[in-house]
Amino acid sequence: MTTLPPPAAPLAPPNPDALATNAMITVNEVSKFFGSIVAVSDVNFAIDGGVTALLGPNGAGKSTLFRMICGLTAPSKGSIRVLGSDPRTDRTVRGRISLVPQQDALFDHLSAIEMVQVSANSHAMPDPKGIAHWALEQVDLADVGAKTVGQFSKGMRQRVKVACALVNDPEVLILDEPLTGLDPVQRRHMIALFHALGDAGRCVLVSSHVLDEVARLGSRVLVIAQGRLVASGDYRDLRSLMDDRPLRIRIGASAPRRLGTALVERGLVTALSLDAHNGPGHLIVDTLDADGLGRKLAPIATELDIRLTEVSPLDDDLESVFRYLVEGR
Amino acid sequence: MTDKTQALRRPASDQPTTERSVPALAALQLSYRVVLRQLTSIARIIALTLLALVSTVAAFALGRSDADLEAAVRLISALGFAVVIPVVSLVFGGAAVGDLRDDKTLVYLWLRPMDRWPIVVGAFLAAVTLTAPITLIPVVLAAVLTGTGGGIVPGTIIAGVVAVIAYCAVFTLLGVWLRKVIVWGLAYILIWEGFIALGGAGVARFAIRKYTRSILVDRTGVDLDLADFSTPVGIIVPLAVAVVALALGSWRLSNQDID
């Protein structure tokens, strides 16, 4: 586990010794290798009922971790317990888990109601047709249940997948990027549904690579980057940590050296360099007070009679957040 | 929009139990129905029916030319049992589980409280359901149209049924095990059965075609190379191969990674 840089309120690194043995999902020292590629490395966590968000950039190992939790692939090292059983080998526990896979895969020749009915039948549910109707109602697709899913938009297909996952009233619900392709209204609707399930005691584990989504998904966050669990804890702590990190900004100006000197003198930047890659009129600054810099930059430029040509953040993306969490830079 | 608190209340009779498990027969029926719908493509069925009708047309032409029984048996063996039945079986058998794997829908059957073997057997039966009428009707009709009699029709029926079952099972296994199953299947049909297995009796034992030819030869009395098994052996060995293939496919499906 990488030690986080010292934030104001540090996120709790998962402690293997503290893993609850009776948690709904227990991931213990789990690694997954594909040849020489390490997809997941020494991951530990235990989670119980409620909504937990798994946050990580694309390729971080989220889907591989989810596949292992569902038993679709075995860990190369370590062990996973879901509801006290090994999901890879225990057949009955699979009836208590549901997965919304990331891939856009459905039986395209079936209607939505048939697709969800197949899912209900495959869980040996009584009254599969009634359950399928109920599940489609949950995702606002009851009206179009007779249409074949091959004709559906990406967002509708995503909701069919969620409906399929609801039919068995799962105790553990794993959702791999379930909000992809949904419009804002449907996103809100889905998030409310996940919270309702979590409030009902279900263990809902949702992955996302979008920070704002995670903010709405739940307060509990697992952060995974480069196959490693780099942090876990409350989302607000993560947000605070991100807000406290230095931001790097490129500034284009008619007199970059003079502007840079003024910014340093007034304590608005912590580091500064001339940006040779973008021509002579640019400098790159690091700041801990992006808001203050934003407010004062234009007045300072006016005062010094300097023309600003560009102000753009260089690391306001998720990758840089993870880089900061993992590497402290 | 449905109120969530209200919506999550399911009917009391629908509450699941924690020990729910799908009975084998129900799982088999489910797999069969899903795969059958998945495989049923009008374009595919028309194309393969046209392929199968080649043997019928050729046999009709042969029948019009007063050919003898040996020529008729050679035609049925060369077209029906070497091309039509293996290729159509490959398309449907290979796609039975292979398509689910490739389009990543297998997870909807795999991640369920059910055994693996009904998934494989259901998929195999779906492949047989489509392969049998598309191949057997034109090939048996071809045998009839040769007009030679002499046991060629019953021989073709028996050998055809055995061939469909054996090829579909083997190609279902390949679909579970391998990606690009069509390439591997064609390699088996064209290179192994069509070339290497013709090299000698020892190697030919490992080709399904040797057994179906043997049935045809045994029923007609015509002398063909590498077809010296009795009818019972010609039936039992391919069927045993089919059972082993399905068992291997089930084992493999239990242990492989699923996307």
* pLDDT tens figures, B109-131: 999 999 999 999 999 999 999 99
Q: Please give the helix or strand (H or E) that residue A180 lies within, else none.
A: none
Residue corresponding to tokens 């709405």: A216
Residues of A in contact with B254 (CB under 8 A): none
Q: Which one-letter amino acid corresponds to residue A164?
A: C
Nearest to B104 among A105, A171, A189 (CB): A105
- Collapsing DSSP to helix, strand or coil, A327 comes out as helix
Do residues A77 and A83 lie in contact, with contact meaning Cβ atoms separated by under 8 Å? no
Q: How far apart are CA B166 and CA B170, in angstroms?
A: 6
Model pLDDT, residue A289: 82
User: Among A316, A237, A213, which residue's Cα sits nearest to residue A5?
Assistant: A237
Residues of B in contact with A200 (CB under 8 A): 8
Q: How far apart are CA A65 and CA A63, in angstroms?
A: 5
* Interval B56-82 mean pLDDT: 92
pLDDT surpasses 70 at A320: no
Query: Which residue of chain B is at minimal alpha-carbon distance from A98?
Result: B111
Model pLDDT, residue A3: 32
Q: How far apart are CA A171 and CA A155, in angstroms?
A: 25
Phi, psi for residue A251 in degrees, rounded to 5:
-120, 125
Nearest to A137 among B7, B40, B257 (CB): B7
Q: Which two tokens stand for residue A132?
A: 């399928």
Mutation to test the A interface, candidates B33, B112, B251, B254, most A Cβ within 10 Å: B112
List pLDDT tens digits, range B166-184: 999 999 999 999 989 999 9
Q: Which two tokens stand for residue B12?
A: 């009391």
- Chain A closest CA to B25's CA: distance in Å? 12
**Quick check: pTM over 0.90?**
no
pLDDT confidence bin for A10, thresholds 50/70/90: very low
Q: % helix / strand / coil in chain B, to the nearest 5?
A: 75, 0, 25
CB hemisphere CA count around A311 (13 angstroms): 13
pLDDT confidence bin for B145, thresholds 50/70/90: very high
Nearest to A96 among B18, B108, B114 (CB): B18
Are A107 and B257 an interchain contact pair (Cβ–Cβ within 8 Å)? no
Q: Which two tokens stand for residue A136?
A: 């489609």
A275 vs A227, residue with greater confidence? A227
Residues with Cβ within 8 Å of residue A194, at least 6 apart in sequence: A51, A173, A175, A178, A204, A206, A217, A218
Are A127 and B13 an interchain contact pair (Cβ–Cβ within 8 Å)? yes
Do residues B58 and B79 lie in contact, with contact meaning Cβ atoms separated by under 8 Å? yes
CB hemisphere CA count around B154 (13 angstroms): 7
Mutation to test the A interface, candidates B21, B108, B110, B256, most A Cβ within 10 Å: B108
pLDDT surpasses 70 at A4: no
Residue A61 DSSP label: S
Give Dmax (Cα) for chain B: 80
Residues of B with CB under 8 A from a CB of A: 1-2, 4-5, 7-8, 10-11, 13-16, 18-23, 26-27, 30, 34, 37-38, 40, 103-105, 107-115, 257-259
Residues of B in contact with A169 (CB under 8 A): 10, 15-16
pLDDT confidence bin for A210, thresholds 50/70/90: confident
Residues of A in contact with B10 (CB under 8 A): 131, 134, 169
Residue corresponding to tokens 């998720």: A318
Q: How far apart are CA A282 and CA A258, in angstroms?
A: 12
pLDDT surpasses 70 at A321: no
List pLDDT tens digits, range A159-198: 999 999 999 999 999 999 999 889 989 999 999 999 999 9
- Chain B closest CA to A33's CA: distance in Å? 13
| Alpha-carbon dihedral angle through residues B208, B212, B215, B216, given to the nearest 10 degrees | -150
* Interval B2-19 mean pLDDT: 51
How long, in residues, is chain A? 329
pLDDT surpasses 80 at B239: yes
Strand locations in chain A (E): 25-34, 37-47, 50-55, 77-82, 97-100, 172-176, 203-208, 220-225, 228-234, 247-253, 271-274, 282-287, 308-313
pLDDT confidence bin for A6, thresholds 50/70/90: very low
The complex scores an ipTM of 0.84
Are A105 and B8 an interchain contact pair (Cβ–Cβ within 8 Å)? no
- Collapsing DSSP to helix, strand or coil, B76 comes out as helix
Nearest to A92 among B14, B23, B113 (CB): B113
Which percentage of chain B shows pLDDT scores above 70?
93
List pLDDT tens digits, range A15-38: 544 555 678 999 999 999 998 899
Q: Which one-letter amino acid corresponds to residue B153?
A: V
